[in-house]
Amino acid sequence: MENNLYQVIKKRFMDELNDSLKRHPVYKTDVKAYGKYHMGKERPQIGVSLYDTSATRINLSPDNTFGTLMSMVTITKVGNHPGTSIEWVWEDVYNISKWVNKENVTATLSSDRTKVYTSKKPITKGAQNPLLLTDIGQVEVHINGVQILPRSVDPLTGEVQLTTIVNPSETVEVSYFYKDVARPGFYFLEMEEENSFIITPMYSEDGEVVVEKTTGSEVTVQLSQTPVLIDFVLSLYTRSSPRAPLLFLDRDVDYTVTPDGLVTFLQPIQAGTTLYASYRWQGDTLGPFNIPTEYSYNDKAIKGVVLAFGSRRQKGDKMCVVLTARREKAAHVKGGHYNMTLGWKVFSRDPLTTSEIADHLSSDIWVNRRELLKNEGITIEDCTPSNESESVYDDATQAMYFESSLNIEVMTEWKKFIPYVIKLKKYTYDVEAVERIKRGRVQEVSLYDAQDTPEFLVEYPITTYPYLF
């Protein structure tokens, strides 16, 4: 759940006000923003204090439904563990696709001097976009500094086919975006301590080409990644052409597999087809990774994924981050907005200083930070200084504090993500109807399972014509 309410917004605006004060050359060293004053400590002579906060909820729909989140990453609990250590996960959108500017690929020219190969792949459509390239205009090719359009681009292999033959004295440069994300799979996260965690990855290979063209005489084949987790989803299937149906092989009937990735065929497979494999394999444990503070994030543990930690971290807690190869329906999203008001008091021993600080904060936050904070789901509705007042600093000398109120009205949001984590990869069930009996308005069908499941009854309602009263 992502909840931008009191704790998050107060901390965020405390940082914003301190940063704004540092941008003022006169007050950048002496003036700070404070929360509530400690009764046992002396009150500072100059500063900004938060004295009041309030919030009201805005419902956007009766059931708070936002819609469906399309993403490459989602998170789910593991077993009976609380699963509260990570508040939410997000795509690292600014780093999932990276730019390579004018890579010199002359050394990769093919023998006919019409093809070059990029060092990074797969090639994507553009910035913040993990989808594979589909248009030749999404890459830039330069020959001796002159830009040309390529004949074709293969995003998976990085092959760029040119429209002309390159002379030996010419230089070929290619500019492109490439996908920089960790392998798809299941990343099991365990909290070793409240401020550190490790990750055990279980990678997913989906549609790995094991044999490009079968001969029908294959006895064994080797999967490329090991150790294979043979107790999890593992499928071998063949296809004669890109549009032909998939023909799945039955494990322990057509083949056997070992953890070292050796597949032994018990029956000959069809010749002239492509053999594919989808399976999961164990990766090396990653970490430990440190969590510096309560409200912090980590974008290094899993490349392309941001992990956000809050105050509910627990030692021994376990969670699973699911990373897919492409954006899919990741979660059902519920959410809404909050209208929040934060009341600040600017105070000093000099009325002109108080007014100057209040004016600076009001204009700097409104003009320079309002648009940028919208990207975080924080919309500043108003930021204006209001009334000025005085309070007594010393009763004996009647020394005064001069104060100015600064009200910041903010609209924030909350979101609840209900993950979709079940995906049906293969389903085979042999059920046949053997008896039909009509009894009034209900039809009973007696079924049996060809795989030795006990007999059971399934009742289907039979519709009739509507009655009008």
pLDDT at 294 over 70: yes
In one-letter notation, the amino acid at residue 310 is G
- In a domain, residue 307? The reply is no
The number of domains in the chain is: 4
- In a domain, residue 306? The reply is no
Cβ atoms < 10 Å from Cβ of 234: 20
Q: Confirm if 275 and 238 have CB atoms less than 8 A apart.
A: yes
Model pLDDT, residue 462: 53
What distances in angstroms separate CA 430 from CA 434, 449, 451, one per listed residue? 13, 6, 7
Q: What is the mean pLDDT of residues 48-68?
A: 88
Q: What is the mean pLDDT of residues 389-414?
A: 81
pLDDT at 431 over 70: no
Domain that holds residue 370: 2-61+334-419
| pLDDT confidence bin for 468, thresholds 50/70/90 | very low
> What's the rounded Cα separation, in Å, for the pair 309 and 289?
12
Q: What is the pLDDT of residues 112-161, one digit of tens each?
A: 999 999 999 999 998 888 889 988 888 999 999 899 999 999 999 999 99
- In a domain, residue 67? The reply is no
Residue ending a domain, choose from 218, 247, 282: 282
- In a domain, residue 14? The reply is yes
- In a domain, residue 233? The reply is yes
The alpha carbon dihedral of 439, 441, 442, 443 has a sign of positive
- In a domain, residue 294? The reply is no
Residues 414 and 438 placed together within one structural domain of the fold: no
Residue % of the chain over a pLDDT of 90? 39
Average pLDDT, the chain: 85
Model pLDDT, residue 319: 92
Burial class (CB in 10 A: 0-12, 13-18, 19+), 392: exposed
Nearest to 405 by CA among 318, 343, 312: 343
Q: What is the pLDDT of residues 311-336, one digit of tens each?
A: 889 999 999 999 998 888 888 889 89
Model pLDDT, residue 466: 46
What CATH number did the domain enclosing 413 receive?
Answer: 3.30.2000.30
Q: What is the pLDDT of residues 209-247, one digit of tens each?
A: 999 999 989 999 999 999 999 888 889 999 988 888 888
Q: Confirm if 161 and 151 have CB atoms less than 8 A apart.
A: yes
Residue ending a domain, choose from 153, 179, 205: 179
| 7 vs 273: which has the higher pLDDT | 273
- In a domain, residue 260? The reply is yes
Model pLDDT, residue 256: 93
Residue ending a domain, choose from 126, 154, 179: 179
> What's the rounded Cα separation, in Å, for the pair 350 and 79?
61
H helices of 323-451, where? 351-364, 370-374
* 313: three-class secondary structure by DSSP: coil
Model pLDDT, residue 328: 87
> What's the rounded Cα separation, in Å, for the pair 396 and 210?
89
Burial class (CB in 10 A: 0-12, 13-18, 19+), 147: exposed
H helices of 317-436, where? 351-364, 370-374
Q: What is the pLDDT of residues 350-381, one digit of tens each?
A: 888 888 999 999 999 998 998 888 888 889 99
70-84, 91-105, 172-186, 426-440: which range is least confident on average?
Answer: 426-440
> What's the rounded Cα separation, in Å, for the pair 312 and 320?
16
| Residue where the block lists tokens 């704790």 | 7
**Could you tell me which residues come within 8 angstroms of residue 40 by beta carbon, excluding any fewer than 6 positions away?**
none
Residue % of the chain over a pLDDT of 70? 87
Model pLDDT, residue 38: 52
With helix as H, strand as E and coil as C, how does 104-131 read? ECHHHCCCCCCEEECCCCCEEEECCEEE
Pairing of strands 379-394, 399-419: antiparallel
Residues 169 and 201 placed together within one structural domain of the fold: no
**H or E element: which one contains 8?**
helix 6-22
Q: What is the pLDDT of residues 24-34, one digit of tens each?
A: 888 888 888 88
* 18: three-class secondary structure by DSSP: helix
> What's the rounded Cα separation, in Å, for the pair 331 and 322?
12
Residues 30 and 52 placed together within one structural domain of the fold: yes
Model pLDDT, residue 422: 63
**Is the full-model pTM beyond 0.85?**
no
Q: What is the mean pLDDT of residues 405-430?
A: 76
Residues 410 and 435 placed together within one structural domain of the fold: no
Q: Confirm if 262 and 222 have CB atoms less than 8 A apart.
A: yes
| Residue where the block lists tokens 């439904």 | 65
Enumerate the β-bridge partners of residue 341: 54, 409
Q: What is the pLDDT of residues 245-293, one digit of tens each?
A: 888 899 889 999 999 999 999 998 889 999 999 999 999 999 899 998 8
Model pLDDT, residue 430: 52
- In a domain, residue 128? The reply is yes
Model pLDDT, residue 437: 47
* 365: three-class secondary structure by DSSP: helix
Q: What is the pLDDT of residues 79-105, one digit of tens each?
A: 889 988 998 888 998 899 999 999 999
> What's the rounded Cα separation, in Å, for the pair 460 and 18?
68
